[in-house]
Amino acid sequence: MSDLDERELQALGWEVARQLFVLIRIARTHGANNEAWGPALGKVNSAVKQADGIALRAVDGALYVGDVRLKVDRENYTAQEGVIRAFGTHCVGAVEINPGFDAMDLKNLLTTWGSSSPPTPEQGLELLSGALGDGEGIHLVKAPKPKSEEQKDSRHMAKAIYIRTLTAVEDVMESVKINQAFPLKRSKRVMQRLVDNLLADPVNLLGLTNLRCYDEYTYHHSVNVCVLSLSVGRRLGLPKPMLAHLGIASMFHDLGKSRIPVDVLNKPGEFDDHEWDMIRRHPVYGVKTIVKLKGADELASRVVTGSFEHHMGYDGSGYPKLPRQRTMSLYGRIISMCDCYDAMTSARVYNRTPATPERALKLMLSKSGKAFDSVMMKVFVNTIGIFPVGTLLLLDTGEIGVVFQANEDPAQGDRPYVRMITDTHGRELDTPEEVSLTETIAGGKFRWNITRILDPNDLEMDVSEFFL
Amino acid sequence: MPSQPPTDNPAGMDTESLDADTLKAIRDLVGHLLRSMKTMRLYAQTNTMYQRALADTGTRLAAHVSEYGPLSLRIDRERMLAGGETVHQDDDPKEGLAFRLYSDGLRGLTFKSGLDEVEARTAMQIIAEGASLATGEDDDVITLLWNAELDHLLMDVVDDDPPQGELVPTHKIEKPDERPQKLAQLVKAQAEAPEPPKRVAYGADVLKVFTLTDRDGAYLDDLMRREQEVDPAQDLVSILSDVLTIEENPDEFADTVGLFGTLITDFLSQGNLPMAASLGRGLVSCVASRKDLTTAMKERAMKELLTLGGGKPLAALEEGLGLLFGTEDTEPTITSPAKREQTMSALNTYLTLLRTTNLRTYLELASRTSDGQVRDMLCDHAVRMVPESHDALTGLLLELNTQLVICATDVLGRVGNTSDLLHFGSLTKSPDVNVRRAALEAITSIAGGSHPQVIPYLADPDPRLRRRALGIIEKGQMTEAVGMLREIAADPGFGEWEIAERRAVFFALGSLGKDELVPMFNRKLQGVKRGLFGGTKGEDDALLAIMGLKGAATESARQALEAGKACPSEKVAAACSGALRDMTVVTGEKA
C-alpha cells in the first residue's frame, strides 16, 4: 500500500466496501450481466490503484483497511453491515485486491458470492476460492474462529496479572536497592493471584513468558522465571501453599543483582575477571540481602534457597562453589532450569540474538543429569513442550505457526498447538487461528506436518506479538 | 480456590435481592455461626465444647447451602450483607468479625453449591481463629483460606495493586517491509523444492524419553516429601554457614559474621535459644574449619560470639539452660550447688538478652522447670509483659500443656481483675490437681478472699484443696456455702473422710449456719446421750456435733454443750467441756 494518510485510506476503503456490497447485491438480484457491473468495477479498480492495493478485513464486527479501522457513519452503515454479513456467510476474513487485478476474476468472485447460499461458511469459502481460481490479483483470507468471551477474558486476565507481578517485582527490587525493606506482604497477595490464574489457565500466562524486554530485563526475567517455575510446579501437582513459596522464591532469585553495578550488568562486551567475580557473587549477595532485611522467617528462608541455589548446578558444578556438596532443594532444581531457559531465550545487551526456544531446550537437555536434574528436565520438557511455547514452525502446507501450547500427551509431544500466523503462501494473517497439529484429514493423515523450525530473528520477527 | 479482582459484581457475588425467607435463613445462620465461633474462641481446640461448636458450624453452613443454594456475603467495615441487606452488624466496631475480615482485605465470601461439611468446618475455623492459626509472618485470614484450597469457596479480595500500563515489549520490532517478502520466499522455496520437505518429527523412542516412568514418579514424590519436611530455619543456618565458609574477602567475611550476630541476637530475644545456639555452633565450626583465615578474621568471629550471651559463649549459655530446663533429649538436671549457681547465672544472662515482650515465651520457660525459685523469677518477668488486655493471658489457660496453664494461672492471679474470673470455670474442674490448686489460689488472690467459685472446691477430690477452700470460706464468712457443706455432710462418702476434716466441716457449718443449725447438732448430741448410736460411730457423730456447736458459738449452742457435759460418754463430756472453754459466745464473753 502506498503512503496515504488515514483519511484518504478511509475514503478509499469505504469506496471499495460500498462497491463490493453493491456488486454482491446486484449479483444476487440481477446476475452477472447487469450493466451496473461496469461502473462499479471501475470504481473498485480506481480505488485499488490509488491505494496501491487494498486489503479489506472484517474483525469483531468492524471493517479495516490494513490496520485502519473504517469509521462508520450513517452513509456507510448499510454497506458495512452488508459486507460483514457477506463475509460471515462465506467464512471470509479479508479480501485482498492488488493493483492490476483481473476484473473478470473479481466479477466471477462476486457473482458466485452473491448467488450462492452455502450450507456452511467453510463450504462457502471453498466455492469462492474455486470461482477465483489462480487469480493472483485477488486473494481471500479465511475468517478466524471467533474468540469466545472466555478466551478474550482469560487472555486479558493473564496480561493483567503479568503486569501486576512485574510491578510487584519492581517495587520490591527498588525497595531493596535503597535498603528500605523487603516488603513481601504485597508480593504474597500477587502470588496468590498468579497461582490462581495459572491453575485456571496455564496457557496464556506461559505464552507471555515470550515477552522480552532488555531495557528492563531483570524485572521481566524475574516474572518469566516465576511463571515458568510455577508452571513446572503445577505440573508436579504441588499444593497451593508450596506453589506460593516457589513463586516467591523464583520471583526474587536474582535479588542479589541489586548489589551489582548496572554498568557491569549491562556491559555489552566480555566480563573481566573482577566483573565475573562480582556476577558469580550475586547468589550470595541475595542471601545476605534477604537475611539482613527480612531476618529468618519461613518465607525468607525459601527465598534465600532460591537465590543461593539457582546457579549451583545439580552436580555442584556451578557457583557458588562449596567445599562440601549440598543437596539441591526441589525449588532450587526448578528455578535453575527456568532461569537458564529464560536467560538463553532472551535478547541481552551482549547478545542481541537469543537462542530459539527449541535450541535452548536442546542445550539444556545436553546438560541433563549434570547441571540439571534429569527427571526434573523431563517435567520441564513436558511443561513447555518439545517444541517449546514460542517456537516458530514452518509446516508442509506452507503455513507458519507459533507454538502456544504443548501437547499434554507425551506420545504426541511433537504435535503441539499452534497459532497460524500466515496462510499457505506465507502471507501474514490478521488474526491468527489456533489449531492442533494432531488434526487429521480424510484417510487419517495429519493435516499439518512440521518441516522446519524457524528462527524469528532471521525473519525479524518478535513472537511475543502473538501472545499479547 | 480462586480469588477474584473486585468488580461491581464479582463472579459468584450475588447482589440480586433475596426473598424474605432466604434472607431470614441467612440472618439466622450468620447469627448462629457467630455464636458458635465465639464459643470456639473460649475453649482449647481439644475441648469438646470447641469441637462441638466447630462441627455445628460446618453442618449448618453446608446444610444452608444445600437448601438455599450459594451463599454470598459482602463484607463491609462493620457489617455483612447478603443480597444488599444487612445480615450482621458488629457490636464493637473495632473488635467485630466484619471489621477483622475487612481489615485483612476481604470484601466478599461466596460459599458455592457443593460445599461439604469438611470444607465448611475448615473455613469457619479459619474465620473464627483468624491470625492465631497463622504460621508465617503476615499470614492473614485471606492467606489461610487460600492455603486451605477450598474448592467451593470464592473470595473477593481488595486489589492493592491495580494493573498499570500496557504490556508492550519496549524493543518491539516493527514489521519491516522485507518481512512479507521473506516469508513468501521461505514458503516458495519449500514449495518449489525438488523433493517434498522432510517432516520434523520425533519417533516414539525419542518421545518415550520424555515420558515419566513409575520410577520417576516415585523419585518426584520423594523429592516433594523431603521438601515439605525441610526445616526452613535449619536450612537457612546451613546456607549461612556455607556462605561463611567460602567468604574470602575480609570485609565480606566480617559482614557475614555480623549477620550471624544479628540473627543470633534476634533468636535469643525471641526466646529461641536452640536456633541461636545452632547459629553459634555454625559460626564456631566455620572458623575452626578454615585454615586460611587471618588472625583478624578469626578475632572478629570470636568477638561476635563473646558479645552475645553477655560475655558468655553461647554454648555455655545453652548448657546452663539445658540443665535447668532440660532439652529435647534430656531432663532438667541440677545435681549440686555449683551446678545450680551455673544454671542461675545462665538464666540471668538469658533474661537480660531476652527482649521479647511476648509473655508466652517466659511462661513456656517457666513451665519447663519444677524449681520454684526459677518459676517465680520467670513469672515475675511475665507479669511485667502482660498487656492491658488480658486476652493473651486468658488464652493460655486453654493450652494443653498443664504446666503452662499453671504458670499462666499464677500470673493471672497476680494481675487479674474480677472480670477475668469467668475464665477459671473450666480450670476448677480440671483433672489435674495442680491446675485446680493454681486456679483456687488465683481466684482467691483476684477476689481478695472469698468468691463463689471457691465453694465447689469443698467437694474437691483432693483433701488439701478441700481444707484450703474451707479455710477461705470460713475466713470470708461465706454463708452461701452452708448449703454445699450440708450436702457434703449428708453424703454417704463423707464418712470416709478423715475425722479431723469432718470436724472442720462441721465447725464451718456451725460457724456459718449459726443458730439455724444448732437444733441439728443438738439432736445428734442428744442421740448419743440416749444411746441411740452405738460404738464409736455414735461418739464420732457427737464429736462432730460438738464442733458444729462450737463453731456456732451462740447462746443456744452453749446451752446445748452444757447439757452435753452430762453425757455418759466421758469422751463426749470432756469434748463438750473443752468446747465450752474455747468457745466465745457471740456476746463476746467466754463461756
Q: Looking at the complex, report in whole angstroms how far the Cα of residue B3 sits from the nearest Cα belonging to chain A.
A: 7
Alpha helices in B430-515 (DSSP H): 433-447, 463-475, 482-490, 499-513
Q: CA-nearest residue of chain A to B227?
A: A330
pLDDT interval class at A1 (50, 70, 90): very low
Give Cα separations from B524 to A318, B532, B545, B549 (angstroms). Answer: 96, 9, 6, 11
- Identity of residue A162: Y
pLDDT score of A2 more than 80: no
Number of A to B CB contacts under 8 A, please give it.
236
Q: CA-nearest residue of chain A to B149?
A: A240
- The pLDDT, as a whole number, for residue B13 is 44
A298-309 helix and A330-344 helix, angle to the nearest 10 degrees: 50
**Residue among A396, A398, A420 at smallest CA distance from A143:** A420
Please report residues of A whose CB lies closer than 8 A to that of B208: 410
- Identity of residue A322: L
Please report residues of A whose CB lies closer than 8 A to that of B182: 458-460
Per the listing, cell 455432710 goes with B489
Q: What is the pLDDT of residues B107-120, one digit of tens each?
A: 999 999 999 999 99
Query: In angstroms, how far apart are the furthest CA atoms of chain B?
Result: 142
Give Cβ neighbours of residue A41 (< 8 Å, ≥ 6 apart): A19, A23, A103, A106, A107
Cβ–Cβ below 8 Å for A214 and B190: no
Query: Is pLDDT larger for residue B161 or for residue A402?
Result: A402
Please report residues of A whose CB lies closer than 8 A to that of B266: 295-296
Q: Looking at the complex, report in whole angstroms how far the Cα of residue A261 sits from the nearest Cα belonging to chain B.
A: 17
Please name the helix (run of DSSP H) or strand (run of DSSP E) that holds residue A94, with its range, or none.
strand A92-97
| CA–CA distance, A246 with A191 (Å, rounded to integer) | 10
Mean pLDDT over A311-317 rounds to: 94
What percentage of chain A exceeds 90 in pLDDT?
42
Secondary structure class of B437 (helix, strand, coil): helix
Alpha helices in B247-336 (DSSP H): 250-269, 273-289, 295-307, 314-325
**Residue among B138, B59, B456, B189 at smallest CA distance from A181:** B138
Q: Looking at the complex, report in whole angstroms how far the Cα of residue A184 sits from the nearest Cα belonging to chain B.
A: 9
pLDDT score of B99 more than 90: no
- The pLDDT, as a whole number, for residue A349 is 65
pLDDT score of B225 more than 50: yes
Cβ–Cβ below 8 Å for A164 and B233: no
Give Cα separations from B216 to A370, B72, B210, B220 (angstroms). Answer: 17, 44, 11, 6
- Identity of residue A380: F
Whole-model pTM?
Answer: 0.71
Give Cβ neighbours of residue B519 (< 8 Å, ≥ 6 apart): none
Cβ–Cβ below 8 Å for A459 and B243: no
Q: CA-nearest residue of chain A to B201?
A: A414
Q: What is the pLDDT of residues B527-567, one digit of tens each?
A: 766 665 555 666 777 888 888 888 888 888 898 888 888 88
The three three-digit cell numbers of residue B198, written as one number: 522432510
Q: Looking at the complex, report in whole angstroms how far the Cα of residue A288 sits from the nearest Cα belonging to chain B.
A: 7
Please name the helix (run of DSSP H) or strand (run of DSSP E) that holds residue B85, with its range, or none.
strand B85-89
- The pLDDT, as a whole number, for residue B39 is 82
Please report residues of A whose CB lies closer than 8 A to that of B260: none
pLDDT score of B9 more than 60: no
Give Cα separations from A164 to A161, A229, B149 (angstroms). Answer: 5, 17, 23
Q: Looking at the complex, report in whole angstroms how far the Cα of residue B479 sits from the nearest Cα belonging to chain A.
A: 57
| CA–CA distance, A16 with A21 (Å, rounded to integer) | 8
Mean pLDDT over A51-68 rounds to: 82
**Residue among B113, B144, B151, B156 at smallest CA distance from B10:** B156
- The pLDDT, as a whole number, for residue A217 is 79
- By the 8 A CB rule, do B157 and B106 touch? yes
- Can you say how many angstroms the Cα of residue B171 is from the centroid of all Cα atoms in its chain? 57
**Residue among A445, A139, A206, A157 at smallest CA distance from A345:** A206
Mean pLDDT over A298-326 rounds to: 91
| CA–CA distance, B325 with B334 (Å, rounded to integer) | 10
With 0-12 / 13-18 / 19 or more C-beta atoms within 10 angstroms meaning exposed / middle / buried, residue A121 is middle
- By the 8 A CB rule, do B119 and B159 touch? no
**Residue among A374, A373, A375, A406 at smallest CA distance from A389:** A406
- The pLDDT, as a whole number, for residue B174 is 57
Cβ–Cβ below 8 Å for B183 and A426: yes
Give Cβ neighbours of residue B165 (< 8 Å, ≥ 6 apart): A163
Phi/psi at B248 (nearest 5 deg)? -110, -35
- The pLDDT, as a whole number, for residue B422 is 87
- The pLDDT, as a whole number, for residue B503 is 86
Give the strand pairing for A62-65 and A68-69.
Answer: antiparallel
What 8-state DSSP symbol labels residue B303? Answer: H
Please report residues of A whose CB lies closer than 8 A to that of B169: 211-213, 462, 464-465
Complex prediction ipTM: 0.70
End-to-end CA, chain A: 26
**Cβ count near B231 (within 10 Å):** 12
Burial per residue of B357-373, b for 16 or more beta-carbon CB atoms within 10 angstroms, e otherwise: ebbbbbbbbbbbbebee
A330-344 helix and A240-251 helix, angle to the nearest 10 degrees: 50
Query: Is pLDDT larger for residue B502 or for residue A147?
Result: B502
Cβ–Cβ below 8 Å for B5 and A193: yes
- Which residue in A236, A323, A460 is closest to B220 by CB distance? A236
Q: CA-nearest residue of chain A to B244?
A: A284
CA-based R_g, chain B, Å: 37
- Which residue in B3, B200, B245 is closest to A192 by CB distance? B3
What percentage of chain B exceeds 90 in pLDDT?
27
Mean pLDDT over B86-99 rounds to: 83
Cβ–Cβ below 8 Å for B157 and A189: yes
Strand order in the sheet with A54-59: A68-69, A62-65, A54-59, A92-97, A138-142
Give the CATH architecture of domain A150-383. Answer: Orthogonal Bundle (1.10)
What percentage of chain B exceeds 70 in pLDDT?
88
Share the mean pLDDT of chain A: 87
pLDDT score of B72 more than 90: yes
pLDDT score of B223 more than 60: yes
| CA–CA distance, A110 with A108 (Å, rounded to integer) | 6
Mean pLDDT over B441-445 rounds to: 95
- The pLDDT, as a whole number, for residue B10 is 36
- The pLDDT, as a whole number, for residue B533 is 54
- The pLDDT, as a whole number, for residue A71 is 74
Cis peptide before A320 (omega within 30 of 0): yes
For chain A, what's the residue count? Answer: 468
Q: What is the pLDDT of residues B57-71, one digit of tens each?
A: 999 999 999 999 999
A156-170, A304-318, A439-453, B217-231: least confidently modelled range? A156-170
Give Cβ neighbours of residue A103 (< 8 Å, ≥ 6 apart): A41, A45
Secondary structure class of A453 (helix, strand, coil): strand
- The pLDDT, as a whole number, for residue B1 is 46
Mean pLDDT over B365-374 rounds to: 86
pLDDT interval class at B571 (50, 70, 90): confident
Please report residues of B whose CB lies closer than 8 A to that of A424: 187
Q: What is the pLDDT of residues B149-175, one digit of tens each?
A: 999 999 998 765 554 555 554 444 556
Cβ–Cβ below 8 Å for A459 and B182: yes
Give the strand pairing for A92-97 and A68-69.
Answer: unpaired
The three three-digit cell numbers of residue A163, written as one number: 503486569
Give Cα separations from B197 to A438, A450, A452, B182 (angstroms). Answer: 19, 9, 9, 18
Cβ–Cβ below 8 Å for B149 and A239: yes
pLDDT interval class at A215 (50, 70, 90): low
Per the listing, cell 546456607 goes with B239
Q: Looking at the complex, report in whole angstroms how far the Cα of residue A186 sits from the nearest Cα belonging to chain B.
A: 8
Q: Looking at the complex, report in whole angstroms how far the Cα of residue B256 sits from the nearest Cα belonging to chain A.
A: 7
- The pLDDT, as a whole number, for residue B14 is 46
Per the listing, cell 588472625 goes with B295
Cβ–Cβ below 8 Å for B210 and A239: no
**Cβ count near A285 (within 10 Å):** 19
- Return the domain boundaries, chain A: 6-146, 150-383, 392-467
- The pLDDT, as a whole number, for residue B531 is 64
Secondary structure class of A294 (helix, strand, coil): helix
Cβ–Cβ below 8 Å for B147 and A244: yes
